[in-house]
Amino acid sequence: MVHEAARTSILSKDWRYSWAKLPNLVLDKQFSMKLAKKSHNVFKETIDMILLQHIGDIVKFYLDVSGVHLSTYADIDRWMLYVTRNGVKKLKLNMTKDGTYKLPSYIFNCPTLTHLKLFNCNFKLPNSFLGLQTLTVLRLEKITFVPAIEFYTINVPLLVKLTIDLCDGTQYLNIVFSSELKSLVVHESHYNLDLSNNFFKKCKKLTDLYLVIDNPIPADNRLTLEKLLFSSPTLETLCLGKFELELLTAGVVPKRLPCILNCLWHLDLDVNFNKLGQTSYTLELIKSFPNFRDLEIWDKTTDDIVEGVMKYLDTPSCLDKTLNKLEDVSIHSFNYSKVVLYFVKLLFAHASSLSRMSIYPDKASNSKEELNVATELMRFPRVSPKAELIYHPNEELD
């Protein structure tokens, strides 16, 4: 921390100015709030002093003012201008949650940036914008893209990691990157992203894909999503929300998926097990990744209509192979339904290398129900002799 390094300056003359040469300046939320509690002037003047006394390039600059009330953003603009003119490569800015701060144009024109992480800001590109030619990591969280006549086109030819989390106005956004993108994380509260645009056309070397959109996705995006999943043979980790699963199933039970992904080792899914399509597609995904070791399920089961699903799970073909690499399973928001219990039973019966089955029950439960379910889980036969059941109760059982 900058303030801790500055304290060393009083220990000896040799260290007096050494803190000013630190290439990494991390001014976190705690630091900013501590200064702002004294007064706004103390907050402003302290950061002014840190920057003005700094010697050499500022390689990394992290500023978190999310806990500070700001009546004006002039100081933020000035600090951003200073660091972008002094060789900053890694820039992280976390503003207050009102999201009214408009990003200054010189952030986008900084020629040295390799990592850019922005939180709670308004986004409007300058007219002369040529793209972030040196950027390898871009994270945009709770960013508002101001409506525009044309797309905001961001050229990032070296981009390796892209994260878009709970942003507004992404329908105005078009990111053009090379085929070297390795990590893609998209979490949307509403369906704004068009899965057919340039976000996804060049994703051929993905190793990590996180795609959760908290609202239904138009059916005509199904083929694009499936192509995204199965055109990346290097994929190692995959996370899909329940609406992505619903889109992929198209309301039918899949026979086989288009291809096998041999590199994938971690699978994270939101599943409503009372929907036959989601349950069957989950099992097909499990069967299509022969080397996956880690399964994480978020139980989204909502109703009691399970007859068709139970009948399907009772057929030998629903899981007709041994899962000889699966080691760790976690089920969150476990809601005690029969269909989810049957799913757990299937995994116990087919995962020959299973070491740990972790169950995190839903909060809306009672001690007697938890005890009954935990007892039933303990009785399930296990093909793996080392399989351990870890049940995490919400409260102590009577």
Amino acid 323: pLDDT: 93
Amino acid 201: pLDDT: 62
Distance set, CA 342 to CA 180, 288, 306, 311, 383 (Å): 41, 20, 11, 11, 15
Cα–Cα distance for residue pair 117/180, rounded to 1 Å: 20
- Which portions of the chain are predicted below pLDDT 50? 5-13, 15-16, 395-398
Cα–Cα distance for residue pair 61/92, rounded to 1 Å: 6
Cα–Cα distance for residue pair 197/215, rounded to 1 Å: 19
Q: Are strands 208-213 and 183-188 parallel, antiparallel or unpaired?
A: parallel
Distant-in-sequence, close-in-space partners of 314: CB < 8 Å, separation ≥ 6: 342
What's the chain's Rg over C-alpha atoms? 25
Distant-in-sequence, close-in-space partners of 36: CB < 8 Å, separation ≥ 6: 42, 43, 67, 68, 69
Q: Please name every residue paired with 331 in a beta bridge, in sequence order, or none if there are none.
A: 297, 359
**SS3 category, 394:** coil
**SS3 category, 347:** helix
Amino acid 117: pLDDT: 97
pTM: 0.86
Cα–Cα distance for residue pair 239/294, rounded to 1 Å: 12
- Sign of the dihedral through C-alpha 213, 261, 204, 129: positive
Q: Please name every residue paired with 90 in a beta bridge, in sequence order, or none if there are none.
A: 60, 115
Q: Put residue 333 in one of left, alpha, beta given phi > 0 → left and psi -120 to 50 → alpha.
A: left
189-215 tens-digit pLDDT: 776 666 655 556 667 789 999 999 888
Amino acid 81: pLDDT: 95
